[in-house]
Structure 1
C-alpha cells in the first residue's frame, strides 16, 4: 500500500516496512528517552529525516536488517535499531545511531515500522507530536550539507551520481570494506 502518508514495502516474503514522515516534532526528547530505555511502544526506527533524500536507501537498509535477522546475526539489539545502524555508512554502532537516529532537538523525523498493523501505525501517529507529511517531502527537505559530511561524499562523486546513490553505495559496501 502506498499513500501520501504511508509507504509500505514488501521485502522478504510476508515482511513489510511502513514509513511515516513527520515535521515540526515537539517531543523528540521524550521519544529519544523512550527509545534508549527500550520502552517505545510500538517499537519503531526513528531516523534523522534530514539524512534521507529518498526512500530507496531506507529500503536497502531495511533489506540488510531483515537479512541479518534471518541469519540470526543482528549487530544491534532490535530489528528497528538495526535499520538505523544499516542506514549509516559507518561500522561504529554508537556513532551510527547518534548520526542517523534522532536526538533531543530533532524536529524532522522519518518513522519506520516492520510488519506494521493499522493499529501500530495509528499508535505511532499518536506517539509522534508533529505534523505528518507526504513522503515526497524527503526529496525536498534533506540536508545536502549533513549528508556530504556524514557520508563523506566528494564533489567529484556528485558529478557522476546523486546523493541518494552515494548513500546507497555506502550502505551496500559498508560490510565489504
Structure 2
C-alpha cells in the first residue's frame, strides 16, 4: 500500500488532495502512453519531482488549478493536467507539460489526485496508484522531496537569475509560488 498524504485545503473544504511520491519507477513510458491515449484510469497529475521544491510548492500549483477551475478559467481539459500546467510560470501549455510532467525516462514521480465531490477515497486512490505505478512509494514529505529536486532544472524552468540562491528551500518556494500565482498576469 502506498504511503501518500491526504489533506484538504481550507479554501476548498469539499475537495480532498492526495499526494504520493515514488522512486525507482520502472514503467513511466507506459504511464505516459496511457495518459496520452486518454485512459481515464490515469486521471492523476504525474509530476517530475526534479522540478519540485517542497509540499508548499505542490500545494501552490493545486490551489492555482482549483482556483482556475472554480473561476471557469482552466486552460487544459482535465483538473489533473491543469495541476501540472499550474506548476509552470508561462502560458505555454505544451512546454509546461513537457517540463513538469512525466517523461518516458522518469524514474521518480510525484503524483497528485484531487477529489472534488466530497467523497473520501484515500484508500482506493492509494490502491489504484499501487497498481499503476511500478516503483517504491515513500512518504510525501519535504525531506523526501529535497533529494529528488534538481535546483538547476528549477532555476531554468522558472527563469530564476543566477544571483538568486535556491539553497534556502523556504525562500525558493516563495519565489516559485509567486511565479505560479502570477502566471498570465505579467
TM-score, scaled relative to structure 2: 0.87
| Structure 2 residue runs without a partner (length 5+) | none
Partner of 1:21: 21
Q: Which runs of 4+ in 1 moved over 4 A?
A: none
1:133 aligns with 2:131: no
Q: Output one character per residue of 1:31-76: Cα deviation in whole Å (capped at 9) or x when no partner.
A: 0001111104141000001111111111111111111111222110
Say which of 168, 172, 181 aligns to 1:163. 172
The answer to whether the 8 Å contact 1:49/1:110 transfers is yes
Larger mean CA deviation between 111-120 and 128-137 belongs to 111-120
The answer to whether the 8 Å contact 2:90/2:184 transfers is no
Shift of the alpha carbon at 1:5? Answer: 2.5
Q: Output one character per residue of 1:134-174: Cα deviation in whole Å (capped at 9) or x when no partner.
A: 22310222101111111111233328973322211210111
Partner of 1:9: 7
Partner of 1:109: 109
Say which of 111, 123, 126 aligns to 2:128. 123
Q: How does 1:1-177 map to 2 (within 5 A)?
A: 5-11=3-9, 12-115=12-115, 117=121, 118-136=123-141, 137-158=144-165, 162-177=171-186
Q: Distance in 1 between matches of 2:172 and 2:85?
A: 18
Shift of the alpha carbon at 1:132? Answer: 0.7
TM-score, scaled relative to structure 1: 0.91
Q: C-alpha root-mean-square deviation of aligned residues, in Å?
A: 1.8
Q: Distance in 2 between matches of 1:40 and 1:26?
A: 21
* Structure with more helix by fraction: 1
SS of equivalent to 1:171: helix
